[in-house]
A = this chain, B = another copy of it.
Amino acid sequence: MAVGVRELPELHPVAGVYVGTTAAGIRKPDRKDLVVFEFTEGTQVAGVFTRNLFCAAPVRLAKRSLAEHQAIRYFLINTGNANAGTGAQGMRDAEVTCAALAQETGVSSAQVLPFSTGVIGEPLPVERLVAGLPDALANLSATGWKNAAQGILTTDTVAKGCSRQVEVDGQRWTLTGIAKGSGMIRPDMATMLAFIATDAAVEPGLLRACLREASDASFNRITVDGDTSTNDACMLVATGKSAVPTLNDRNDPHYAAFMHALTEVCTDLAQQIVRDGEGATKFVSIQVEQGASSAECLQVAYAVAHSPLVKTALFASDPNWGRILAAVGRAGFTELDLDAIEIWLDEVRIVRDGGRDPDYSEAQGQRVMDRDELTIRIVLARGKVNETVWTTDLSHDYVRINAEYRS
């Protein structure tokens, strides 16, 4: 059950982007499971991909085509099957599906990027996928985003999308994105896919840098293990159809506005994934402040976010601060000054001077822990860097979902 989830917001069309969705029967009948994105000529595409060594065939193929600087015209996305752990046959299958879409649309195979999500290790049902292409193409539409948001889901309980419009010198940029991913670490369901498009014109190298930076501040700050599943991908597409002049570098006066909007869209999508985390009953921000470096802040934050003991205490709404303290202590730093560290639950300080705050009472901690959304704040008092990651609790349902899946 997702925490604090809203209705899918209005998803503004992006000039030059058309989206078509169909039910191809990839794994289950009558379920939207095939999505095609079409981009106008001249569209620039940037991508960040899983760092898992066993990355899936479609990921390898998409990276290869992007690296060849092809003029990308289509994304071909299927759910129900990840085409991962499928060896050489998986690569051939991915190529065949891209070639089929290319033939239908009159582009070259390398102008189609494939994305798959679903069960690992089963052969991609190429025939059913290819048979679904004409219907997906027939309903290509500038307003097809909402259908696509549903068409890329696996075990997600809600569709995820976000849209922003930015006024620039009397002109306008639109940024619209959709994502899938059911919260916590789930490599075999190919944790996360995100597709974001904008009509902004952005120089290709800058577009890649923008995506890296925005995804670092968003998708790489959630403990979905976003960088480690076999199929993760986050794509940013810029059609250049907006009347706002091209963004060429970071010194452009409008660069900050673009990055701000892009980071907002990415962060919103990333948080929607956490809120829909498997079995999640809480949405938890872990904020590490006054660190000497970003790396050490993140190391502490992830040690807390990944601790099964902290996560089960969160599920139980138990202000068991000893577990947080112990997780900070094992984060791997030997030079922390224990007496300087403070730990807070929202507005309540629970730890100072290396032990429980004398003014802390269990009732105060309980009050915060009873909330659906809360922040664990750890003040390292070593420097000027702050970092935040977002995570969920570890519930009975997490074990149930992951133990019963496939059975």
Instruction: State whether A308 touches B400 (Cβ < 8 A).
Output: no
| Residue interface bits A31-60, CB-to-B below 8 A is 1, else 0 | 000000000000000000001111100000
> Which residue of B is nearest A86, CB measured?
B355
* Bound-complex Cα distance A186 to B121 (A): 34
Number of copies: 2
Known: A121-B356, A395-B399, A402-B312. A334 touches B53 (CB 8 A): yes
| Residue interface bits A85-128, CB-to-B below 8 A is 1, else 0 | 11111100000000000000000000000000001110000000
**A87 surroundings in chain B (CB, below 8 A):** 353-356
Instruction: State whether A355 touches B90 (Cβ < 8 A).
Output: yes
Q: Is A326 an interface residue (CB 8 A)?
A: yes
**A399 surroundings in chain B (CB, below 8 A):** 312, 315, 394-396, 398-399
- Number of A residues near B (Cβ < 8 Å) is 64
| Residue interface bits A309-338, CB-to-B below 8 A is 1, else 0 | 100110110101111011111110110101
Instruction: State whether A322 touches B355 (Cβ < 8 A).
Output: no
Kindly identify which residue among B120, B315, B325, B353 contacts A326, using a CB–CB cutoff of 8 Å: B120
Q: Is A185 an interface residue (CB 8 A)?
A: yes
Instruction: State whether B400 touches A325 (Cβ < 8 A).
Output: no
Known: A399-B395, A404-B316. A186 touches B309 (CB 8 A): yes
Q: Is A268 an interface residue (CB 8 A)?
A: no
* Bound-complex Cα distance A404 to B120 (A): 35
Instruction: State whether B326 touches A54 (Cβ < 8 A).
Output: yes
> Which residue of B is nearest A326, CB measured?
B187
Q: Is A184 an interface residue (CB 8 A)?
A: yes
Q: What is the minimal beta-carbon distance from A197 to any residue of chain B, in angstroms?
A: 29
> Which residue of B is nearest A91, CB measured?
B354
Interface window among A163-171, A222-230, A235-243:
A222-230
7 interchain pairs, CB-CB under 8 A:
A54-B354, A86-B355, A89-B355, A185-B308, A187-B326, A188-B322, A308-B308
